[in-house]
Structure 1
């Protein structure tokens, strides 16, 4: 009676190892693109509006003093003392202004940019202009001691489009990131042995020669 060898089912890990090499790249790009597209669709659009104020030195003050006070005004623009006045013109609470308004300054120019973000473009414009207006009023009240005035350089205008990335871009970024991770997984994948790999047959050792058998 001859024993018929039975095939064993390969474990799931071995099945994964036997997939083509490019499957990791395709799967990673697909999953990454799917997640990126979902992020772009589920994230609400956000609009940003920016206004600018410039520090002007008074008679007897130096441009360096104006740049220094511009840095200081950029830091205090989001404080409660300024935002408390800005909420009156913006029509939103102080907490909304604190979470939505950011300022930036430049070491080369005595200018402060005030950027506000909101789901509504008109509200973003109102918040940016309101904070700039409140900041210039506070600077005007202390100009006798600082010898520096803040003047509105540019008012915020209605943005032409959302500041958030479009869905097509988030999908592309997600697919690229997923493909990159798939490539890294492919590099870390253990090398698969050759098809002819198998147990090494045991060498047969000849036994002792039978007695009386001529050699």
Structure 2
């Protein structure tokens, strides 16, 4: 191999690398494509999923004549933690006309941090069923409070009944598409952060192979061998 062929080989190698890079998809389309895919998936989920309704009722713990208001706050916290268990022990599932497993999975209770009040929220695909489950759990708490009133010295009263919801709480199709598009854009951006490392590793590998080929070509240059033979002849 003569030194004149080295620039040609380098030129051909450079053209091959550029052609390989041209075949790769453009990075500029990665994030928009991910956003579009996420928005389509989210919109499809919002359209195909069954709407869910939520109903909320409220129960308040009232201190007795000789009880401490702070004790009412503590009992409200206790009732809120075991609201579902107390409801299952009573007839809440029968009143709501659902199974105990459905009642446990669909009802949640939360206690106010600054008042002895418990909010009971039930979720269901049927608005009337959601309201019935919330009222059933509240009724069970009132009965339990009445049975334990002599020992606790507090009274559990239903403060507000749950109303039948008219609008679903599940995400709508536009909102689901917006959330899906945001998630797709995040994943697309993360993929762009990973790809440059792989490309840099490939470039480093090519750079390491190029000097090795050049070294083999320069080890036995043509003119140098000719000069040495002429010197030996003289």
Q: What is the TM-score when the length of structure 1 is the normalising length?
A: 0.81
**Is the counterpart of residue 22 in structure 1 residue 34 in structure 2?**
no
2:189 aligned partner: 183
Structural mapping, 1:54-203, within 5 Å:
54-79=60-85, 82=88, 84-190=90-196, 191=199
- Whether the 8 Å contact between 1:80 and 1:94 is mirrored in structure 2 is no
Larger CA Rg, structure 1 vs 2: 2
CA RMSD of aligned residues (A): 2.7
- Whether the 8 Å contact between 1:83 and 1:94 is mirrored in structure 2 is no
Q: Which has the higher helix share?
A: 2
How many residue pairs get aligned? The number is 198
By how many angstroms is 1:32 displaced? 1.4
By how many angstroms is 1:41 displaced? 2.3
1:206 aligned partner: 223
Q: What is the TM-score when the length of structure 2 is the normalising length?
A: 0.75
- Whether the 8 Å contact between 2:80 and 2:109 is mirrored in structure 1 is yes
Comparing 57-66 with 74-83, greater Cα deviation is found at 74-83
- Whether the 8 Å contact between 1:82 and 1:138 is mirrored in structure 2 is no
Give the Cα–Cα distance (whole angstroms) in 2 for the partners of residues 59 and 183 of structure 1.
63
Give the Cα–Cα distance (whole angstroms) in 1 for the partners of residues 126 and 70 of structure 2.
38
Comparing 61-70 with 153-162, greater Cα deviation is found at 153-162
Please, which of 37, 42, 45 is the counterpart of residue 39 of structure 1?
Answer: 45
Give the Cα–Cα distance (whole angstroms) in 2 for the partners of residues 72 and 173 of structure 1.
37
Check 1:145–1:33 CA distance in 2 against 1; reply closer, same or farther (3 A cut). same
Q: Deviations over 1:74-102 (max 9, x none)?
A: 12211156553112321222222111111
Check 1:133–1:80 CA distance in 2 against 1; reply closer, same or farther (3 A cut). closer
Tell me, which stretches of 5 or more residues in structure 1 are unaligned?
1-5
Check 1:113–1:53 CA distance in 2 against 1; reply closer, same or farther (3 A cut). same
